[in-house]
Amino acid sequence: GESVGLHLPTLSVQEGDNSIINCAYSNSASDYFIWYKQESGKGPQFIIDIRSNMDKRQGQRVTVLLNKTVKHLSLQIAATQPGDSAVYFCAERADYGGSQGNLIFGKGTKLSVKP
């Protein structure tokens, strides 16, 4: 799920298929991760989160998997729908010290769902 410059990685899937969006995070000390969805012209919206003491968390049609060994995060969307078309960002919290709350965002992956 990383990108350089102007080009976002793009994932194109057929409606009804499952989607998997990947993200490599940078800090092994990160203890909390979030996936956001951003539709065109809108702000990022929370999808699902996971703490570092877990390796899997499920929501409605979405599952997040965390592999701390290789610092990898993935978002699985079941039965992808046209409304899922958006840019998806992973974010990590690398410094939690009571008053700290900074999230570091990845560059994003564009999901395109073909009807």
Residues that bind other proteins (CB under 8 A): 3, 5-6, 32, 34, 36, 42-46, 49, 51, 89, 93, 98-108
Q: Identify the residue whose tokens are 């989607």.
A: 19
CB of 91 to other proteins, least distance (A): 8
Are 19 and 111 in contact by the 8 Å Cβ rule? The answer is: yes
Residues 6 or more apart in contact with residue 25 via CB below 8 angstroms: 33, 71, 72, 73, 90, 92, 104, 106
Shortest separation between residue 76's beta carbon and other proteins, angstroms: 20
Min dist CB 46 to other proteins, Å, is 5
CB atoms within 10 A of CB 109: 22
* Residue with Cβ nearer other proteins (72 or 110): 110
